Amino acid sequence: MSNNLLAGKRGIIFGALNQDSIAWKVAEKAHEQGAKFVLTNAPIAMRMGEINELASKTGSEVIPADATNMEDLENLFTKAEEILGGKLDFILHSIGMSVNVRKGKHYTELNYDWLEKGWDVSAVSFHRVMQVAWKRDAMNEWGSILALTYIAAQRTFPDYNDMADNKAYLESIARSFGYHFGKAKKVRVNTISQSPTPTTAGSGVKGFDGFINYAEKMSPLGNATAEDCAEYCISLFSDLTKRVTMQNLFHDGGFSNTGVSQEIVESFSSDS
Ligand SMILES: NC(=O)c1ccc[n+]([C@@H]2O[C@H](COP(=O)([O-])OP(=O)(O)OC[C@H]3O[C@@H](n4cnc5c(N)ncnc54)[C@H](O)[C@@H]3O)[C@@H](O)[C@H]2O)c1
């Protein structure tokens, strides 16, 4: 159902790899709500070609960019403004990767070259994107910039490894840049802390299956799906949330404020 919440708005959506990706669902819903946008992903991710299907479905163009490369980002913003015909109203940063997680390196034995790569891709890239937008004055007033994060930034989830530290860094960048973007340009910057979600990045975390089931039982409303997350993103890109900024917004069915649920207690009680 469309309420045209994003009619006339222009944006850039990073991170749609395949149909499971959170960014994929955001693109579909943004299109439904009347937005125009360009899709982007790392050149290496284009090889799978699935993003072209999303592009034709949403009437958008694809511009490859490695989010850790300033030249790629400059080129992306130049082309996006040309294609869309003006400044931007929203940006979604839906990017994450840890080489240590990928290669199964234990947190106590991190490889620091891999750590640097992971934090550049997962956290510093958000600063890079905002710096390019800032210097080019590419955002319209009351625009909205969003990144996706996970509660391991606040509490320890051992298998999340160095991604926990990357997410803490990402959330801090949202607050710090959010201050400047708010003051100077009336642009809001937030992070959404999403439930575990079965995507390529999510499923790469060790023990993901057990963990997503645990989160489901711990959350009074159940886990938020990728579609739910996309709807929340749309609300934050819309004019209905104009003065929400510098926040880390939990979108997790209540997981973050639940000490323990009845189901979990029962699964441990001796008479169960
Ligand atoms: N899946 C979950 O359980 C979960 C939970 C909370 C937060 N998140 C976050 O949601 C975001 C999206 O992940 P997802 O779950 O949709 O998985 P996904 O694997 O579909 O998306 C991750 C994206 O990051 C892109 N990427 C990697 N390196 C890049 C680079 N150098 N430049 C540009 N793009 C690059 C990938 O190509 C991919 O499209 C990530 O920030 C992730 O940490 C995911």
pLDDT digit string (tens) for 47-90? 877 999 999 999 999 999 999 999 999 999 999 999 999 999 99
Q: Mutation test of ligand 1: which of 22, 41, 192, 228 has the most ligand atoms closer than 8 Å to its C-beta?
A: 22
pLDDT at 49: 79
- Asked if residues 52 and 114 have their Cβ atoms less than 8 Å apart, the reply is no
Angle value at C-alpha 68, between 146 and 132, nearest 5 degrees: 60
- Domains of the chain, residue spans: 10-268
Reported as a pLDDT band with limits 50, 70 and 90, residue 194 is: very high
236 CB-side CA count, 13 A: 28
Whether the CB of 35 sits within 6 Å of ligand 1: no
Residue 189 Cα to ligand 1 midpoint, Å, equals: 18
Ligand 1 atom closest to 44 (CA): 37
Please name which of 14, 32, 195, 39 lies closest in space to residue 97, comparing C-alpha atoms: 14
Ligand 1 atom closest to 120 (CA): 31
- Asked if residues 264 and 217 have their Cβ atoms less than 8 Å apart, the reply is yes
Residue 201 Cα to ligand 1 midpoint, Å, equals: 5
DSSP reduced 3-state for 38: strand
Residue 101 Cα to ligand 1 midpoint, Å, equals: 13
Report the predicted TM-score, pTM, of the whole model to 2 decimal places.
0.98
Reported as a pLDDT band with limits 50, 70 and 90, residue 113 is: very high
Ligand 1 atom closest to 67 (CA): 32
Q: Mutation test of ligand 1: which of 48, 72, 93, 94 has the most ligand atoms closer than 8 Å to its C-beta?
A: 94
The H or E element containing residue 89 is strand 88-93
Reported as a pLDDT band with limits 50, 70 and 90, residue 272 is: low
DSSP reduced 3-state for 45: helix
pLDDT at 127: 99
H runs (alpha helix) in 204-249: 208-218, 226-237
pLDDT at 2: 86
User: Chain centroid to CA 233: how far?
Assistant: 9
Mean pLDDT of the chain: 96
The set of residues, in sequence order, having a beta carbon less than 8 Å from that of 80 and lying 6+ positions away, is 10, 12, 38, 63, 88
Q: Mutation test of ligand 1: which of 73, 199, 248, 249 has the most ligand atoms closer than 8 Å to its C-beta?
A: 199
Distances in Å between the Cα of 215 and the Cα atoms of 196, 232, 233, 256, 267 are 7, 19, 21, 10, 14
Q: First-to-last CA distance in the chain?
A: 44
Q: What distance in Å separates the CA atoms of residue 77 and residue 239, rounded to the nearest whole number?
A: 23
Ligand 1 atom closest to 22 (CA): 16
Is the domain defined by 10-268 classed in CATH 3.30.460.10? no
Q: What percent of the chain has pLDDT over 90?
A: 91
Whether the CB of 94 sits within 6 Å of ligand 1: yes
Token pair for residue 180? Answer: 């400047």
**Model confidence pLDDT, tens digit, residues 14-40:** 999 999 999 999 999 999 999 999 999
pLDDT at 1: 73
**Model confidence pLDDT, tens digit, residues 220-263:** 999 999 999 999 999 999 999 999 999 999 999 999 999 999 99
Q: What is the mean pLDDT of residues 140-165?
A: 97
Reported as a pLDDT band with limits 50, 70 and 90, residue 181 is: very high
